[in-house]
Structure 1
């Protein structure tokens, strides 16, 4: 038995919530796993300045560590100081029992000086020698070097890479990986993830990767080359330029993909302290915070949505896992996101020591991974990415590969928020039907009021209208003349309500190229999938070019023969679309079809997959004077119509709930239509 005096030597505030401490030097004699009331562990595998770590030192029963992967730039936020605390406690080493507190004399003056010297050398190594090995973009923070991944680690990653992708890409795809940290030294897992994601794309042929550290890559022209962006464990205020932030937001909202892991939940916060600096980013990601327990906490993971395509790799079974799991606060909500994985609180003892009585959330809802739609964009987040070993795990890499293909737009995956998954909603997902309030139903109200009514009806989707006022605060029509800030307010209102705008009615898209571009650019900023319009047929060539450039459909809307001479009959639309691509087709307004003597069921048979979207009506009689009644109570054979679109395999962009009667008090009648639709969906769903 022998005694070694210890001292607290160095403190680094790279991550203040961890209160990282560097313990005393010369601990080779300490066993790898200590026992007793005051255990010590050799910090094996955690580099400090490129070398092995010194030790883990507990404080009041909690494990504390200073992993070298958490280096912070001395030029920015690192604050190091020597804290030599004279202590009368020695640690007595016993080869059988491990270290334990013992009694002894005060630390000698010579040993104090030795500790100071070692601490000073460690500080120099971290701040100067170690920093020289890192790549640091001008004016930015820290990039964890790829050299952290040893040859042996690389082989483990290569062995874990999936042999093939879940689906074949629809076209060549490109993924941007951005791995900068600002005010924080960066997780050691970052280069492991970079390498794994790069190899997965290359080996499966699913995508190409580009790794960047310079925020200039978020310029709009630069982002156009990518299908999705992956913020790899990015902690801190990555960039503050408003134009770059708006560029990223519009990229995702307009149809790009976004992936984040672990520390991305505190991206765009001022560090240290995780002070919010860009709330809308948190809304897009749907989580903020980085509260956690041990860096290797063991929990049982539940599959919240076992049948979801991204969860297919888990075979329908929950599993145990070990990593650092963040617990999130607002804006996380199951009203916003489709939860894939969470901590199974029934099978995980969250009250074990030293956490007895601790609850990070009152509802004990600890989601670990989810997907969501943000406008037209596809968002994925997973907190399981703290430790490098995650990216050497074949199962987790298959999970992440599916997530990448989802974000890129190749793997169709439902994103309806978990809290909205009623039996009817699940039936509609299986049918590929998305029920949306058509804004014309409530055009006497503002758009913001219409959004509120959509929420009351329990519907997740909306169809916009160009001649509806936005709100009392923005008394302008919802059209391309809105400013970017006004559009952003629309975006935030929709997100807060959990409503997504699928289509947008713009009466006549112009054939002039510059004006047509303005309309399509506005549609991209709204995150829509289709325009409803009645343009001059001569404009269709120009319109189709922009459909292809923006990936937005144009559904040709019908009124009566007088108002819509080119589009009132399905066969006329079919003739105009002859020889054109699949992004041009019909918007079937059933009310005008019935008034014009067109049978909606026969119209579906004529148009087939050219029927891009529908606005459903039921009328009290089959005459030009027919008016709306709740679905299923009139002469429109509404149930037969839905049976036919199911039989034809038609999946419209939206099933529009348009009710053109009793304008100011129609909510109860529309609610009857919703109930009818839900019952039909439950009956017809496979």
Structure 2
């Protein structure tokens, strides 16, 4: 599926020329004074979000083996002027692959591949730098021809499959360059799509239809072709079929690791970039990928009323891998998807898969970590947390762990390091943008972290990236009331491992949430009252390990039902 093959239904350059995709010399074109005036007249007056800090957007517009789209210089100018007028960001336009050196990428908050057709660069180090920039929390934006970026042109022969996965699609099949369609606004209240005022709209451009890896299991669709109304608009009985499912998304957002990704197919003609509505849309998209406009990214196919309620609450429910530690990581990811959950937590002593029997830890090679990323992507699951028992005080050794987290896209490590290591760990937390939540077992196993008071003592004077991972099960076994513990920790609670037990004390074992002595509903209601939004509500079911899926599903059902009530 992701091999070196011709991309789905993409013709050679000669065929594309017939339909208007070929525009020789577009990269060298300048924007006329008249078109500049059109752009300036259409610029949004204000950005939808206030930047958290000065932002820098790298625009890369190289085409290889292809002349480039005439809209490239228009888009470059429109984004530059939008950033200047609104104060939302600064742009840097480059055609030099050296800009993707690791030290260079650090200056940017996001990368915009502006209609980039062909193989932009083949250096594996630069490609790895870009991947880790995205998974580590950078932004990626693409428009129109970017879906055939990093392919060998002509022919769009795949050369970097993971780029297509990061972006969300491959291919460039289309009809004519002035096709008129009815665009369906799929998610009217989505922050990135507010420019359209909640309304579907008619539009003319060159509209791509995508192949794999595009799937609603992977991306949050914002715009799509309304097939029935488009057929009527075009005087046809039905739209031309490019896919068996006739699902033709035009714009979407997603996460890849911690990275924020946006793509839109609507960018063929220069006039798109002096359309006020489209510029407002693209400004919101830019602020999303830059990190200033929060927006939900749960894939469209996974969305349920309960998950929409959890988005409203700012809550994320995911499976902790220890629940299924008798299985491999890949099996855990499959079970998480089967439960309808978009999040999972990793575990350092769990084997990766039958093909990669090693433990899922920082000793894995880059190629093995890529396989983990691709597995998560195919399942539509993000890994938010990761348990590793110790993070050492030796900076080089600790840095290897943080590099591992960056490559996977971890938001929060759960660990039990020596308190003497916390100064080093905190510096790395700030450098990498990753939290460390101090995990508790019982008093004997976790003497420094076993109770809320112990955690608060260790965290005193430290920044917000060091805090608690509250294991509710061990709290109850140690005689600590979870509700009182959560109240005491307050905003020091970074993430939580949820349990309900059949009895208090050391012998207590997990039971489905709401059926034990843990007062789970009261705990969740109190967290809602306190406005606590942990990295993840970790569903860690530590009983009946090999046959626990039905009980785990009961916990999910309990959480979903309460979420719907709390979000009203």
**Pair in the same fold by TM > 0.5:** yes
Q: CA deviation at 1:145?
A: 2.1
Distance 1:547 1:427, change over 3 A: same
From 6, 24, 40, the equivalent of 1:71 is 24
User: Is the Cα contact below 8 Å between 2:386 and 2:412 reproduced in 1?
Assistant: yes
- Residue 372 of structure 1 pairs with residue 254 of structure 2: yes
Cα distance per residue 1:61-94 (max 9 Å; x no partner):
xxx66x8x7116xxxxxxxxxxxxxxxxxxxxxx
Structure 1 residues 528-554: Cα deviation after superposition (integer angstroms, max 9, x where no partner) = 000001111111111111111000011
C-alpha change, 1:357 and 1:682, in structure 2 (3 Å) is: closer
In the alignment, which of 482, 491, 494 is matched to residue 600 of structure 1?
A: 482
**Displacement of 1:150:** 0.4
Contact 1:465–1:506 (Cα < 8 Å) also in 2: yes
Partners of 2:472 and 2:189 lie apart in 1 by 35
Note if contact 2:231-2:238 (Cα within 8 Å) is conserved in structure 1. Answer: no
Return 5+ residue gaps in structure 1 as ranges.
1-12, 21-63, 73-142
Tell me, in whole angstroms, the C-alpha distance in 2 between the residues paired with 1:430 and 1:167. 18
1:220 and 1:661 mapped to 2: Cα distance? 45
1:532 aligns with 2:485: no
1:623 aligns with 505
The structure whose residues are more often helix, as a share, is 2
Deviation at 1:575, TM superposition (A): 2.2
Paired position in structure 2 for 1:246: 128
Counterparts of 1:17-56 in structure 2, within 5 Å, are 17-20=15-18
1:412 aligns with 2:294: yes
2:273 to 374, 391, 394: 391
How many equivalent pairs are there? 558
SS in 1 for 2:66: coil
Q: Distance in 2 between matches of 1:362 and 1:173?
A: 41
For residues 19 and 646 of structure 1, the distance between their equivalents in structure 2, rounded to whole angstroms, comes to 57
Equivalent residue, structure 1, for 2:14: 16
Per-residue deviation, 1:361: 2.2
Question: Quick one: structure 1 residues 198 and 19, their matched pair in 2 at CA, closer, same or farther if it must change by over 3 Å?
Answer: closer
* Alignment correspondent of 2:532: 650
Q: State whether residues 556 and 585 of structure 1, in contact with CA within 8 Å, keep that contact through their aligned partners in structure 2.
A: yes
- Secondary structure of 2:545 counterpart: coil
The structure 1 residue matched to 2:140, chosen from 239, 258, 263, is 258
Going from structure 1 to structure 2, the CA distance change for 1:154 and 1:352 (only over 3 Å counts) comes to: closer
Asked if the contact 2:231/2:237 (under 8 Å) is kept, the reply is no
Aligned to 2:338: 456
SS in 1 for 2:172: strand
Which residue of structure 2 aligns with residue 140 of structure 1? none
**What TM-score do you get using the length of structure 2 for normalisation?**
0.96
* From 17, 27, 30, the counterpart of 1:144: 27
Tell me the distance in 2 between the aligned counterparts of 1:645 and 1:239. 48
Residues in 2 aligned to 1:311 and 1:234: alpha-carbon distance in whole angstroms: 24
Kept after mapping to 2: 8 A contact 1:177/1:209 = yes
Matched ranges for 1:300-379 at <5 A:
300-349=182-231, 352=234, 358-379=240-261
| Residue 5 of structure 2: aligned partner | none
Q: 1:392 to 1:352 in 2, by over 3 A?
A: closer
CA distance in structure 2 between the aligned counterparts of 1:14 and 1:181, rounded to whole angstroms: 15
How far is the alpha carbon of 1:18 from its aligned partner? 2.8
Matched, 1:522 2:409: no
| Aligned-partner SS, 1:18 | helix
**Matched-pair contact (CA < 8 Å) for 1:144–1:190:** yes
Would the aligned equivalents of 1:14 and 1:70 in 2 still touch at CA under 8 Å? no
Q: Following the alignment from structure 2 to structure 1, what is the Cα–Cα distance between the partners of residues 536 and 437?
A: 11
How far the C-alpha of 1:489 sits from its partner, in A, is: 1.0
Mean alpha-carbon deviation: is it higher for 651-660 or for 356-365?
356-365
Q: Contact conserved, 1:16 with 1:273, CA < 8 A, in 2? A: no
Deviations 1:578-625 (A, max 9, x none): 222111111110001111111111111111111111100000111111
TM-superposition CA deviations, 1:213-240 (whole Å, max 9, x none): 0112112222111110000000011111
Rg larger in structure: 1
Alignment root-mean-square deviation, CA: 1.6
The alpha carbon displacement at 1:19 in A equals: 4.2
Counterpart secondary structure, 1:235: coil
Shift of 1:314: 1.2
Give the Cα separation in 2 of the matches to 1:653 and 1:263: 35
Assess if the C-alpha contact under 8 Å between 1:14 and 1:71 holds in 2: no
What secondary structure sits across from 2:285 in the alignment? helix
Separation in structure 2 between the aligned mates of residue 524 and residue 357 of structure 1, nearest angstrom: 43
- Cα deviation, residue 362, structure 1: 2.6
Do 1:14 and 1:185's aligned partners in 2 also have CA atoms closer than 8 Å? no
Shift of 1:301: 1.2
Q: In the aligned structure 1, how far is the partner of 2:283 from the partner of 2:108?
A: 17
Q: Distance in 2 between matches of 1:396 and 1:270?
A: 30
In structure 2, runs of 5+ residues without a counterpart are 1-10
Partner of 1:501: 383
Residue 322 of structure 2 is matched in structure 1 by 440
Counterpart position of 2:519: 637
- Separation (CA, whole Å) in 2 of partners of 1:16 and 1:205: 42
Aligned equivalent of 2:313, options 428, 431, 435: 431
1:299, 1:343 within 8 Å by CA — same for their partners in 2?
A: yes
> After TM superposition, what 4+ stretches of structure 1 lie above 3 angstroms from structure 2?
350-357
Using the TM superposition, give the Cα deviation of residue 683 of structure 1 relative to its aligned residue in structure 2, in angstroms. Answer: 1.3
What SS does structure 2 have at the residue aligned with 1:378?
A: strand
Q: Are residue 237 (structure 1) and residue 108 (structure 2) matched?
A: no
